[in-house]
Chain A
Amino acid sequence: MSGTATIALAGNPNSGKTTLFNAITGARQRVGNYPGITVERKEGTVNVEDMKVNIIDLPGCYSLSAYSEEELVARKVLVDERPDIVVDIVDATRLERHLYLAVQFFELGIPVLLSLNMMDEARKQGLRIDRIRLSNLLGCPVVETVARSGTGKKELIEKALAHARERGGKWEPLEISYGPDLDPALAEMVEKIEATDFMTERYPARWIALKYLEADEDVMKAGKAIGGPAEALERCVEKTREHCRKTLNTSPDAIIADYRYGLINSILKQDIIVHEKTQQERIDFSSRLDDVLTNRLLGPAIMIGVLYAMFQITFTVGEIPMGWLETFFGWLGDTATAIIPAGLVQSLVVSGIIDGVGGVLGFVPLIAIMFLMISFLEDSGYMARVAYMLDRVLRIFGLHGCSAMPFIVSGGIMGGCAVPGLMATRTLRSPKEKLATLLTAPFMPCGAKLPVFLLLVAAFFSENEAQVMFSITLFAWAMALLVSKLVRSTIIKGDPTPFVMELPPYRMPTLRGVLTHTWERAWQYIKKAGTVILAVSILLWAAMTFPGLSEEEVAGFEAQRQTIAASVQTEEQQETLLTEIDNLQGQAALRHSLAGRIGTMFEPISQLAGFDWRTNIALVGGFAAKEVIVATFGTAYSLGEVDPEASDSLSRRIASDPTWNKFTALALIVFVLLYAPCFVTVVTMAKESSWRWALFSTCFNTTLGFVIAVGVYQFGTLFLI
């Protein structure tokens, strides 16, 4: 163990793992994905004297029973990477429940250090924990920590390394007696396993036997693939199960859990915890807060208030840095125009790259602020209450309380982004509810769709902007819920999955934690802008530039210009006429380009919803990224440099175009809201589910959007104009 050592941080959700991880590693961390498994684990390094220590932050889990992907990941890391030691972070105020995971680590045999976290809170509640005694009874070092302030982290690392050194990488599985009904069966199975070295290079023999008794799908599947004694083991389990059912009316996994808790109780009963205050005296701040925040009447009202406040803050505060970025990209564009000689290269750099990527990066402040607040709500424990309060409603539509989060992140209160929203579906245990959430979350009015709505609302509904924007959000929610009801009762039928969730105690989030989460998510978005959207911007620029006009046509426009220049008029009049020609030429060139041809090709169909060829180009571009829609409109209406934020002039232009009316605008709003998710979202969806579903979503959403848009346009123009 010279040079490097690996420490894995494990523990229940909400035990302060990530806070401790950040406190230990500082900013030196990277987020990595496990191949084949989507749940994230983080890694960071810290130097202790001469040693480089790798710290792995495992996803939070309640048990190693492989109920959720988190548990599977945690187990896989421990077994396959064999870290030198696992530090089990337990919430000192919830010792009994949190030791359940610790017992399973002991049974696995990996060296463990127990970190009693949140000691400050425990002391406040009048809890005294005899850690020396606990350490003796558990047979592992126990340290006290306060992750939020970083107290105890040095001792934790030192003791962890010392204990790992002492054990020298040897695994010593703890053998717990599971009583007269299971012990003989376990012994028999262990014998079979050891005789054939069945999976023993990965797991301890008794642990494998336990997993068989617990009917652990993951282990049993792996065992079946190997063969050997797998069948004999399964027969043995069957026999034991039958015996337990007949004599005790219970199942082996129930007995195992009971004995584990029994063991924990027997340890804790030995005067480990002293309550200095009586139950009555221990004021539980969280439950008092819950009396108000999840109150039957007040709770929902407060929830709406909180969400509305988030929306307000995001936009009022976000406007300021967005303005800075706008100015910066404007300056960058101007500089590039000045440096690069006019021509294709200048056009590529200015219109293609700077405008394209700049438009997307312009949203970074909005996204960062929104995530800042979501991280705050999440870390404070409020998001779990939202899931709790909304579960009953969401269940009606075949969803889960935990679906609320992905919807909100995707833009349920406007201005989100479906990419992190879809990633947030990982908290959903049930594949069916997860899929329904994945398919419907992209309907939300994400930050990229907003400029389109703002543009059209400013052009046609300027007298009641706020109400229209709010109605769009409500419509998005209604569509998301109705469509998920539709898919859950047709193509992804199935019973609802259990909703068993911990309501973590309310906590004041740490600034560091909130900032770290925000940065991680904002960075993901920036990366998307720098890679996919950059590529797409260039592609779109090319599609809107090539093929150019033929020489005769260019010559035709040139001749017109000459005529004007030669005519006897004031300079001002000439200028106006020349601009008009420029516009005409721009229009002709766009119509002639590949994108223009595609737009024109779709015109006969899209006319049903009132969309002309220019709108079609914008919509095709919008598949790449919704931000592109406004930018494309700008180009299509040949206003030259149009920035998605400065939509005023463009919106006037559109408002005065005779081909547009209120219903065209409404139809377009509906279509943009519902049609195919942007390219990056589709890729994310494919990663979270499969390419088949991603493709389905693309086709289904476009069809649905089109049908409703046609309905709105036709109904409006036939009856209301």
Chain B
Amino acid sequence: MPSSLRTLGVNEKARITSIDASGEISRRLRDMGLVPGTEVKVIGRAPLKDPVAVRLRDFTLTLRNNEADCIMIEKMEENK
């Protein structure tokens, strides 16, 4: 069942299946390395639960929940 990155809890891992965005934001997300197949792990949320910090390709990216909504993922096994 595909879901969005927003639903991913802290310390959970997932693989990106698709990016449901178009135009500028889609290009920006891709430039930053969020392409289908990438493994991501949520490593934290800001004090007000938004934005979210994600670890991928050996670096840390933060994005807002609004942006996380358009990143579709499939969860991977728990890996703490």
Q: Is A503 touching B63 in the complex (CB atoms < 8 A)?
A: no
Q: Which residues of B contact A261 (CB under 8 A)?
A: 33, 35, 37-38
Separation of A258 and B17 alpha carbons in the complex (Å): 12
The answer to whether B57 touches A96 (Cβ under 8 A) is: yes
Q: Say whether A501 faces chain B, with CB atoms less than 8 Å apart.
A: yes
A693 to B58, CA, bound (A): 42
B43 touching A287, Cβ below 8 Å: yes
Q: Specify which chain A residues have a CB less than 8 angstroms from the CB of B49 in the assembled complex.
A: 392
Interface pair B36/A96, CB less than 8 Å apart: no
Name A253's closest neighbour in chain B (CB-CB): B27
Shortest Cβ distance from residue B66 to the other chain A in the assembled complex, whole angstroms: 7
Q: Is the interface of B mostly helix, strand, loop or mixed?
A: mixed
In the complex, per-residue mask of B1-41: 1 if CB is within 8 Å of any chain A CB, else 0: 00000000000000000110011111111111101111000
Q: Is the CB of A251 within 8 A of B64?
A: no
The answer to whether B59 touches A67 (Cβ under 8 A) is no
- A502, B59: Cβ atoms closer than 8 Å: yes
| Chain A residues with CB below 8 A from B48, complex form | 392-393
Pair B50/A392 contact, Cβ less than 8 Å: yes
**Contacts A62-B32, A67-B24, A251-B22 hold; do A499 and B60 have CB atoms under 8 A apart?**
no
Kindly supply a per-residue 1/0 record for chain A positions 188-223, scoring 1 wherever the CB is within 8 Å of any chain B CB and 0 otherwise.
000000000000000000000000001100000000
B-side contacts of A253, CB under 8 Å: 26-27, 30
Pairwise interchain contact B51-A388, C-beta atoms closer than 8 A: yes
Residue of chain B at shortest CB distance from A401? B51
Contact A67 B28 (CB under 8 A): yes
CB distance from B21 to the nearest CB of A (A): 9
Contact of B47 among A65, A389, A395, A500 (CB under 8 A): A389
Is B60 within 8 A of A287, CB to CB? yes
A18 to B29 Cα, complex, angstroms: 25
Interface footprint category on B: 35 or more
Given contacts A498-B63, A498-B67, contact A392 B19 (CB under 8 A): no
CB of A93 within 8 A of chain B?
yes
Segment at the interface with B among A25-33, A293-301, A309-317, A662-670: A293-301
- Determine if A453 is an interface residue (Cβ-Cβ < 8 Å): no
Residues of A within 8 A of B29 (CB): 500
Chain B CB within 8 A of A607 CB: no
Q: Give every chain B residue within 8 A of A214 (Cβ-Cβ).
A: 27
Query: 1/0 per position for A281-304, CB-CB distance to B under 8 A?
Result: 000001100110011110110000
A257-B30 contact, Cβ under 8 Å, with A94-B59, A286-B60, A287-B60: yes
A289–chain B nearest beta-carbon distance, Å: 11
What are the residues of chain A within 8 A of B61 when measuring CB–CB? 500-503
Could you say which residues of chain B place their CB within 8 Å of the CB of A100?
Answer: 31, 33
Contact B44–A290 (Cβ < 8 Å): yes
A500 touches B32 (CB 8 A): yes
Given contacts A498-B67, A500-B67, contact A388 B53 (CB under 8 A): yes
- Please tell me if A45 contacts chain B, counting CB pairs below 8 Å: no
Residues of B contacting A294 with CB < 8 Å? 44, 46-47, 53
How far apart sit A249 and B72, CA to CA, in the bound complex (Å)? Answer: 14
Tell whether, in the assembled complex, residue A300 and residue B47 are in contact, meaning their CB atoms are under 8 Å apart. yes
Chain B neighbourhood of A120, CB < 8 A: none
| Contact of A465 with B by CB under 8 A | no
Q: Quick one: given A67-B28, A254-B30, A257-B30, are A388 and B62 in contact (CB under 8 Å)? A: yes
List B contacts of A401 (CB < 8 A).
51
What B residues does A181 contact at CB under 8 A?
A: none
A67 to B31, CA, bound (A): 9
Among A62, A257, A290, A294, the one with the most B-chain Cβ atoms within 10 Å of its Cβ is A257
Give the Cβ gap from A10 to chain B, nearest Cβ, in Å: 15
Structural contact, A391 and B51, CB atoms closer than 8 A: yes
Any B CB within 8 A of the CB of A651: no
Cα–Cα, bound, A249→B18 (Å): 10
Q: A254-B19, A290-B43 are in contact. Are A499 and B33 (CB under 8 A)?
A: no
Chain A residues whose C-beta falls within 8 Å of the C-beta of B44 in the assembled complex: 290-291, 294
A473 contacts the other chain (CB 8 A): no
Complex contact B59–A97 (CB within 8 A): yes
Within 8 Å by CB of B46, from A63, A286, A389, lies A389
A498–B50 Cα distance when bound, in Å, is 12
Chain B proximity of A300: nearest CB distance (Å): 5
Contact B60 A67 (CB under 8 A): no
Q: Which residue of B lies closest to A279 (CB)?
A: B79
Scan residues 60-104 of chain A and give those whose CB is less than 8 A from a CB of chain B.
62-63, 65, 67, 93-97, 100
B58 in contact with A65 (CB, 8 Å):
no
Contact assessment for B50 and A391 in the assembled complex, using a CB-CB cutoff below 8 Å:
yes
**Nearest CB to that of B33 among chain A residues?**
A97
Determine if A499 and B46 form an interchain contact, defined as CB atoms under 8 angstroms apart: no
Nearest chain-B residue to A93 (Cβ)? Answer: B58
**In the complex the two chains form, what is the Cα distance from A62 to B27 in whole Å?**
11
Q: Which residues of A contact B67 (CB under 8 A)?
A: 498-500
Contact in complex: B57, A97 (CB < 8 Å): yes
Contact A94 B57 (CB under 8 A): yes
B60 x A65 contact (CB < 8 A): no
Q: Select the residue from A94, A393, A499 with max chain B CB neighbours within 10 A.
A: A499
How far, in angstroms, from A605 to B62 measured CA to CA in the complex? Answer: 51
- Which residues of B are found within 8 Å of A392, using beta-carbon distances? 46-51
Chain B residues closer than 8 Å to A63, beta-carbon distance: 31
- Measured CB to CB, the nearest residue on chain B to A393 is B48
Residue of A nearest to B56 (CB): A97
Determine if A498 and B31 form an interchain contact, defined as CB atoms under 8 angstroms apart.
no
CA distance A93 to B63 in the complex (A): 22
> In the bound complex, what is the Cα–Cα distance between A566 and B53 (angstroms)?
84
Q: Which residue of A is nearest B70, CB measured?
A: A498
A299 partner, pick from B18, B43, B47, B55, beta carbons under 8 A: B47
- Please give me the residue from chain A that is nearest to B79 by CB atom: A279
Interface residues of B (CB under 8 A from A): 18-19, 22-33, 35-38, 43-51, 53, 55, 57-64, 66-67
User: Lowest 8 A-B CB distances belong to which pairs?
Assistant: A257-B30, A63-B31, A392-B48, A503-B60, A97-B57, A96-B57, A499-B64, A97-B33
11 contacts between A and B (CB under 8 A): A93-B58, A214-B27, A257-B27, A261-B33, A388-B46, A391-B50, A392-B47, A498-B25, A502-B62, A503-B60, A505-B59
Known pairs A67-B31, A500-B25 / 17 extra A-B pairs, C-beta < 8 Å: A62-B31, A93-B58, A94-B59, A96-B58, A258-B35, A261-B37, A261-B38, A287-B55, A294-B47, A388-B51, A391-B50, A395-B64, A498-B28, A498-B66, A501-B62, A502-B32, A502-B60
